[in-house]
Amino acid sequence: MIIAAPSYIPPLPFDPPTTVPIHDFFFGKDEHKHGRHPVDASEPPFTCGISGTSYSASEVSERIQCLARALAVHLRWQVNEGSEMDKVVGIFSLNSIDTLTVSWATHRLNGVSCPISATYSLAELTLQLKTARCKALFTCVPLLQTAYAAAATAGIPKTNVFLLALPEESINGMTAPADVKSVDTLIQEGAGMPRLPDLLWDDGQGARQTAFLCSSSGTSGAPKNVKISHRNVIANVMQITTFERTYKGAEPELCLGVLPFSHCYGLIVVSLASIYRGDGVVVLQGFDLFQTLEAIQSFRIRRLWLVPAMLVAMTKAASVVKKYDLSSVTVAAVGASPLTGEIFQLFGDLLPNCSLIQGYGLTEAAVCVSFNHVNDAVLGSCGNLYPGFEGRLIDEDGQTIEEHGQPGELLLRSPSIMLGYHENDAATREILSDDGWLRTGDLMEVRKSPNGHDHLFIVDRVKELIKVRGLQVAPAELETHLLLHPDIADATVVPMPDEAAGELPRAYIVKSKEFQGKGHGDDELLKQQLHEYVNEAFAQHKHLAGGIEFVDALPKTSSGKTQRKVMKDKAREWAAAVAATEAARKKTQIESVLRVQNEGLKRVAIQVFDFSSDEDEDDL
């Protein structure tokens, strides 16, 4: 069964162009023919949610050109010479209103933009700079020292490290060294430089040339650099906006830009698709509940782009949220793990006039695959496929599933599918077939909505399902339930090795501030209550038989997802320690038994010896 967009969604208005660079698609002289909202009638692409600083779309276009000129001189790059992989620019920063300006300027030079999570450690950043072979790095004041250290190890000259501006409130009084150039300084320099030559592209070059190198763990394993072409990005922007135009008016609006621009969700869905529509993005450096609520109220933001953890935080702080005027919000769009009916209800109580819709995507598909339509939303669904996507489910034997309601791994084909993993052909071949089908690694079901349209329902990651005595347990199901408990701030469930069951679900839980604030909270009592809470809701094989452990925080990716591998390793280490302790206990027990037995044998031997002596004496 081939899955496609529902019939009421029109096809893409034209085939995504194969010879148009991204910056031209958004700001070139022919942007009108590509369906972009007129530049002069658009909202400022990015507005700082704290300071209010912004630039018009026309000003952003000019800033791109000026920045590209200055970088060309500083880095000694010729626009039409060398491979794009010789011109990789890293961006290691909190969100800035100029983040995308740097990317577009890099594309103007025929280069590659490499967004890097601001959460990376020194070791992670160094590795990313090396594997991507970055020649320059843009960062921000709070991350400057880490950037300098990583750049030095990766062979990037200190003079090739530049600064993106952040609002004063985000830098806590920190100041930049006088010798480091900022984006604004480079733009001022570029304003006095001659115009750059036009890009000379062959037919189809946009479909072959990498525009972004984005980090992803793939369907499993260590992080990899995903090669996303100019056409990949353009295709997904067209897919998103074609779908949304069936319910969204043409008038530009403001959306929330709190998700990291270093992740494809924040980069393509929040930023690029919004700009194509003529919308503006209100930029925040990270999710702070009060800053977020203040920005929504002050700027009259209409659309929220969130991840589940942010949504849960809002519902748990309902008394705080209700103090703000959020009546402007019409749509809240959420990606990542499924949402429960309880969360939908709680959020609906907070924002009764807002449609809460859920979607699905992955970096390898660059990025958004499906979303619920506001007129066909189904609880727990990831929505309908976007136009231009084909999908199918396969079973464990690789056979296509033809029935609705049967779980299988989702395969996708689309003009937005990545070129492959950078310098990792083996990993590319594992998930991308010669005929363009991408293995997502996600276990899905296709079910009909009440309106008769195909919806995708995510069961779990194929690699993350926990097998308890042969029965499957989806961690996401347990996690969603746990997050509804008032004493839990965050939770993840991972497999713990078990000799008898194969695997057992083990939960790592961050206690809520309210529980911690009690000062006398009983951890053991809370564990008992949580076990009962889960046991009442789920079958026995889904119980947390692997135990519950409280932690201060869960490790997160830049998009807010829990780094499951870290927690799986922790569970394995704990299981190994328990096994070692049990083995030592058994060994001690056996040794004790043997000692008792040996002592008994000695006593018997002595008794036998003494008895024999007595007999001898009697005989004498």
Same domain, residue pair 429 and 473: no
- pLDDT (0 to 100) of residue 218: 63
Same domain, residue pair 318 and 457: yes
Q: Please say which residue of 462, 491, 515 terminates a domain.
A: 462
- From 520, 535, 518, select the one nearest 482 (Cα to Cα): 535
Number of separate domains in the chain = 2
- pLDDT (0 to 100) of residue 364: 96
With pLDDT > 90 as the criterion, what percentage of the chain qualifies? Answer: 73
Question: How many other CB atoms are found less than 10 A from the CB of residue 401?
Answer: 18
* 38 in any annotated domain: no
Domain holding 344, by residue range, is 1-8+234-462
Same domain, residue pair 451 and 525: no
Q: Please say which residue of 462, 480, 496 terminates a domain.
A: 462
Tell me the sheet residues that pair with 446. Answer: 456
Q: What angle do CA 156, 160, 164 make, to 5 degrees?
A: 120
Radius of gyration of the chain (CA): 29
* 438 in any annotated domain: yes
d(CA 370, CA 512): 32
Q: Is the pLDDT of residue 187 over 60?
A: yes
Same domain, residue pair 424 and 437: yes
Q: Please say which residue of 412, 447, 462 terminates a domain.
A: 462
As a whole number, mean pLDDT of residues 222-228 equals 90
Cβ neighbours of residue 267 under 8 Å, at least 6 residues apart? 100, 115, 212, 214, 261, 367
As a whole number, mean pLDDT of residues 281-295 equals 97
Same domain, residue pair 294 and 443: yes
As a whole number, mean pLDDT of residues 271-286 equals 97
- From 209, 242, 244, select the one nearest 227 (Cα to Cα): 209
- pLDDT (0 to 100) of residue 293: 98
- Domain of 429, CATH number, reads 3.40.50.12780
- pLDDT (0 to 100) of residue 606: 55
Q: Tens digits of per-residue pLDDT, 314-366?
A: 998 999 999 999 999 999 999 866 677 888 899 999 999 999 999 999 999 99
Same domain, residue pair 336 and 347: yes
Same domain, residue pair 392 and 410: yes
Q: Is the pLDDT of residue 307 over 60?
A: yes
Q: How confident is the model at residue 559 (pLDDT cuts 50, 70, 90)?
A: low
- Domain of 472, CATH number, reads 3.30.300.30
Q: Which residue has the tokens 């990831």?
A: 382
Same domain, residue pair 474 and 455: no
* 172 in any annotated domain: no
- pLDDT (0 to 100) of residue 336: 60
- pLDDT (0 to 100) of residue 605: 53
* 470 in any annotated domain: yes
Cβ atoms 294, 324 nearer than 8 A: yes
Q: Is the pLDDT of residue 604 over 80?
A: no
Cβ neighbours of residue 233 under 8 Å, at least 6 residues apart? 22, 211, 212, 268, 272, 366, 416
Q: Tens digits of per-residue pLDDT, 114-137?
A: 999 998 889 889 999 999 999 999
- pLDDT (0 to 100) of residue 618: 36
Same domain, residue pair 451 and 505: no
- pLDDT (0 to 100) of residue 608: 47
Q: What is the DSSP pairing of strand 368-371 with strand 224-229?
A: unpaired
Q: Is the pLDDT of residue 610 over 60?
A: no
- Average model confidence (pLDDT) across the chain: 91
d(CA 184, CA 275): 21
Same domain, residue pair 429 and 499: no
Same domain, residue pair 377 and 507: no
Q: What is the SS3 string spanning 319-388?
A: HHHCCCCCCCCCEEEECCCCCCHHHHHHHHHHCCCCEEEEEEECHHHCCEEEECCCCCCCCCCCEEECCC
Q: Tens digits of per-residue pLDDT, 513-552?
A: 888 877 656 899 999 999 999 999 888 889 999 999 999 9
Cβ neighbours of residue 501 under 8 Å, at least 6 residues apart? 468, 469, 545
